[in-house]
Amino acid sequence: MLDPMAALRRAVAGATLVGLAAAAPAPAAAQGKFLDVGKQAPITILINASPWYAGFEKAVDLYVKQTGNEVNLDVTPYGGMLEKARNAVRGSTSPYDILNLDSGWTIEFYEAGFLKPLGEIDASIKLPEEVLECGNTFWWNADKRYRTPAGGKLMGVPPNCNIHIVAYRADLFKQAGIEAPKTYDDVLAACKKVQNPPGLYGFVTRGERGNGIRYDFSTFMLGHGVDVVADASGGDYTVTMNSPKVLAALNQFITLMKTCAPTNAGSLGQADVIQLMSSGKAAMVQTVIAAWGNYEDKTKSAVAGKVAAAPVPQAVPGQKAGVAIGNWNFTVPKNTPADRQKAAVAFMKWFLTGEAQRAYAEAGGIPVRVDTLKSDLAQKPQFSWMPAYLASIEIGQPTLGFAESAEVEQVMGLRLNQALIGELAPAKALNLAADEIAAIFTRTGRKTGKLPPLPE
Amino acid sequence: MRSRAGEFLDRTFPTWSLAPAAIIFIVLSVYPILNLLHMSVSTFRTVDGVDRATFDPLANLRFFATDPVLKAAIVNTLIFVAVSVAIELLIGLALAIQVARLRRGKGLIRTLMILPILVPPVAIGSMWKLILNYDFGVLNQGLALVGLGPVNWLGDQTLALVSVIIVDVWHWVPFIFLILFAAVEGLPVDVMEAAKIDGATDRQVTWHVMLPLLKPAISVAFIFRAILAFKAFDEVFLLTGGGPGTSSELISLHLYKIFFVQNNVGYGAMLSITMILMVVAFLLVARQATASGAGDRP
In angstroms, how far apart are the furthest CA atoms of chain A? Answer: 66
Q: Find the closest chain A residue to B62 by CA distance.
A: A443
pLDDT tops 80 at residue A6: no
Residues of A with a Cβ under 8 Å from any B Cβ are 82-83, 86, 89-90, 108, 111-114, 198, 208-210, 262-268, 272, 275-276, 279, 281, 334-335, 406-407, 410-411, 414, 417-418, 421, 423, 432, 436, 439
The arithmetic mean of pLDDT across residues A241-247, rounded, is 98
Q: Where are the beta strands (DSSP E) in A302-434?
A: 307-310, 323-325, 328-331, 396-398
Mark yes or no for CB contact A210/B51 under 8 Å: no
- What is the structure's pLDDT at B298? 42
Tell me the shortest Cα–Cα distance from A312 to chain B, in angstroms. Answer: 26
Span B162-205, pLDDT tens digits: 999 999 999 999 999 999 999 999 999 899 899 999 999 988 99
- What is the structure's pLDDT at B11? 86
Instruction: Name every chain A residue with its beta carbon within 8 A of the beta carbon of B66.
Output: 439
- Where residue B1 falls among pLDDT bands split at 50, 70, 90? low
* CA separation, residue A379 to residues A105, A356, B47, B170, B193 (Å): 36, 19, 50, 53, 86
Bridge partners, A287 (sequence order): A165
Q: Which residue has the higher pLDDT, B49 or B207?
A: B207
The phi and psi torsions of B111 (rounded to 5 degrees) equal -65, -45
> Which of A218-227, B61-70, B111-120 holds the top average pLDDT?
A218-227
The arithmetic mean of pLDDT across residues B59-66, rounded, is 91
- What is the structure's pLDDT at A12? 38
Tell me the shortest Cα–Cα distance from A454 to chain B, in angstroms. Answer: 20
- What is the structure's pLDDT at A426? 98
Bridge partners, B45 (sequence order): B52
Closest CA to B245 of A215, A267, A331: A267
- What is the structure's pLDDT at A4? 42
* CA separation, residue B25 to residues B37, B67, B227, B280 (Å): 18, 35, 21, 20
**Angstrom distance (rounded) from CA B195 to CA A280:** 65
The arithmetic mean of pLDDT across residues A339-349, rounded, is 98
pLDDT tops 70 at residue A296: yes
The arithmetic mean of pLDDT across residues A158-172, rounded, is 96
> Which of A230-234, A291-295, A398-402, A420-424 holds the top average pLDDT?
A420-424
Instruction: Name every chain A residue with its beta carbon within 8 A of the beta carbon of B133.
Output: 272
Sign of CA dihedral A245, A247, A248, A253: positive
Mark yes or no for CB contact A267/B135 under 8 Å: no
A309-344: string of b/e by CB count within 10 Å (b at 16+)?
A: bbbbbbbbeeeebbbbbbbbbbbbbbbbeeebbbbb
The arithmetic mean of pLDDT across residues A305-315, rounded, is 96
> Which of A146-150, A423-427, B207-211 holds the top average pLDDT?
A423-427
Closest CA to A58 of A361, A276, A289: A361
Contact indicator for A360, A367 with CB cutoff of 8 Å: yes
The DSSP symbol for A29 reads G
- What is the structure's pLDDT at B2? 65
- What is the structure's pLDDT at A360? 95
- What is the structure's pLDDT at A32? 52
Q: Find the closest chain A residue to B259 by CA distance.
A: A83
pLDDT tops 90 at residue A29: no
Contacts of A180 (CB under 8 A, 6+ apart): A166, A168, A173, A308, A310
The arithmetic mean of pLDDT across residues B208-231, rounded, is 94
- What is the structure's pLDDT at A18? 37
Rg, chain B, Cα only:
25
Rg, chain A, Cα only:
22
Mark yes or no for CB contact A406/B262 under 8 Å: yes
Contact indicator for B183, B152 with CB cutoff of 8 Å: no
pLDDT tops 50 at residue A436: yes
Percent of chain A with pLDDT over 70: 93
* CA separation, residue A45 to residues A72, A229, B130 (Å): 6, 34, 32
- What is the structure's pLDDT at A27? 38
Least confident of A54-63, A408-417, B287-296: B287-296
* CA separation, residue A26 to residues A36, A366, A451 (Å): 20, 19, 58
* CA separation, residue B19 to residues B4, B6, B25, B30 (Å): 22, 19, 10, 15
Mark yes or no for CB contact B264/A407 under 8 Å: yes
Mark yes or no for CB contact A113/B155 under 8 Å: no
Least confident of A285-289, A379-383, B224-228: A379-383
Burial bucket for residue B268 (CB in 10 Å: 0-12, 13-18, 19+): buried
Q: Find the closest chain A residue to B48 by CA distance.
A: A113
- What is the structure's pLDDT at B295? 47
The DSSP symbol for B29 reads I
Residue B135 is nearest to which of A90, A198, A335, comparing CB atoms? Answer: A198
Q: By 3-state DSSP, what share of chain B in percent is helix, strand and coil, each rounded to 5?
A: 75, 5, 20
**Angstrom distance (rounded) from CA B255 to CA B269:** 9
Instruction: Name every chain A residue with its beta carbon within 8 A of the beta carbon of B152.
Output: 263-264, 267
- Where residue B137 falls among pLDDT bands split at 50, 70, 90? very high
Mark yes or no for CB contact B243/A262 under 8 Å: no
**Angstrom distance (rounded) from CA B81 to CA B172:** 12
Across chain A, mean pLDDT equals 91
Instruction: Name every chain B residue with its beta carbon within 8 A of the beta carbon of A265.
Output: 155
Query: For strand B50-55 and strand A98-102, is the pairing parallel, antiparallel, or unpaired?
Result: unpaired
The reply to whether the predicted model has a pTM over 0.85 is yes
> Which of A246-255, A286-295, B286-295 holds the top average pLDDT?
A246-255
pLDDT tops 90 at residue A51: no
- Where residue B51 falls among pLDDT bands split at 50, 70, 90? confident
- What is the structure's pLDDT at A31? 40
Tell me the shortest Cα–Cα distance from A405 to chain B, in angstroms. Answer: 9
Instruction: Name every chain B residue with its beta carbon within 8 A of the beta carbon of A108.
Output: 263
Interface test with A, best of B63, B262, B265 (most A CBs within 10 A): B262
Q: Is the peptide bond before A95 cis (omega within 30 degrees of 0)?
A: no
